[in-house]
Amino acid sequence: MMPLVPLMLALSLGQADPYVRSRVDAGDTRTQCLFWTSNRVVWSQSTFGNPDTAGDTEFDAIRASFQSWQDIFAECGNLTLEEGPRVDEREVGYRRQGSNTNLVLFRTRDCNTVVPADDACWDDDTCANTFDCWDDDDNTIAITLTTYDERSGIIYDSDISFNAARFSFTTATCFPPTTTNCVATDVQNTATHEVGHLIGLDHTRASGSTMNPSAPPGEVSKRVVDTGSRDFVCAAYPKGQASQACLHPVTAADLGPKAGGCAAAGSGGALSLVGLWSLWLARRRKEAVR
């Protein structure tokens, strides 16, 4: 098996297709697509949740986001997205040794304010896990960190982090704000987009797509998965068949152990969603819309 390599999913700005699959080399159709080969992906939420969201509604909003995709998988797909128990875990990324959790969490502290400037974690890119803080761009609302094999495109692990250090998240559906904690950054709207990245979707500029990188303030339309993204599920994960690669068929020699992007403030107060995928070891690339 080829080594796992770090790569962050780039924005496909020119694409207006109904859906765009993520690639080993972001946007390069000569490279393999990213996809799960297991028939079940278990995901868990951090028990810490988001203290600034009313009650425990953030847990329900994220659950509803996964369910939107699971409903489609139940109709025409071969994959089950199963919620596991809440966990105290706060570390994202893939571990070569030990178990891995497909984790959803909120980072409530900014690494720039809690990590010494000379700490080695800045060079090692480990501050987020070491200090439990947000170490990405201040304008990025959420990121999806996915580990995959660069030869086959097979996904091993995927984690979603929300930037609660800089953004206030809500589960209310009102805009402009009329009640306490009613703000523009909707948890379910953002999470549904991020789960799309988790299962192997890149961005598209197609109007009305859950995977469109733009989101005006107060948007909740991405809570409902669009027809194009639904077609991706049916095509890439066909019911009763193996998950579909984009290039050569994946053979037994390609298979490794089986496991289980992202919003930024845009101009004019709009929100733009940015998928972010990271893999282990060699290359790293990150792009955000501002």
In a domain, 278, yes or no: no
Which stretches of the chain score pLDDT less than 50? 1-14, 177-178, 252, 256-290
Is the C-alpha dihedral spanning 184, 189, 195, 200 positive or negative? negative
**Segments of 139-270 assigned E as strands:** 142-148, 155-163, 169-170, 185-186, 214-215, 263-265
Burial 137-172 (b: 16+ CB within 10 A, else e): bebbbbbbbbbbbbbbbbbbbbbbbbbbbbbebbbb
Q: In 10 A of CB 179, how many CB atoms?
A: 9
In this prediction, residue 107 carries a pLDDT of 97
- The reply to whether 26 falls in a domain is no
Report if residue 68 sits inside a domain.
yes
How many Å apart are CA 249 and CA 158, to the nearest integer? 23
Identity of the residue numbered 182: C
Spatial contact of 19 and 236, defined as CB atoms under 8 Å apart: no
pTM of the model: 0.84
CA distance 270 to 161: 20
Let me know if residue 19 belongs to a domain.
Answer: no
187 belongs to a structural domain: yes
Residue 225: inside a domain, yes or no? yes
Please check whether residue 226 lies inside any domain of the structure: yes
How many domains does the chain fold into? Answer: 1
The whole domain housing 73 covers 40-273
Residue 168 is predicted with a pLDDT of: 85
In a domain, 91, yes or no: yes
Looking at residue 95, its pLDDT comes to 86
What's 115's domain CATH number? 3.40.390.10
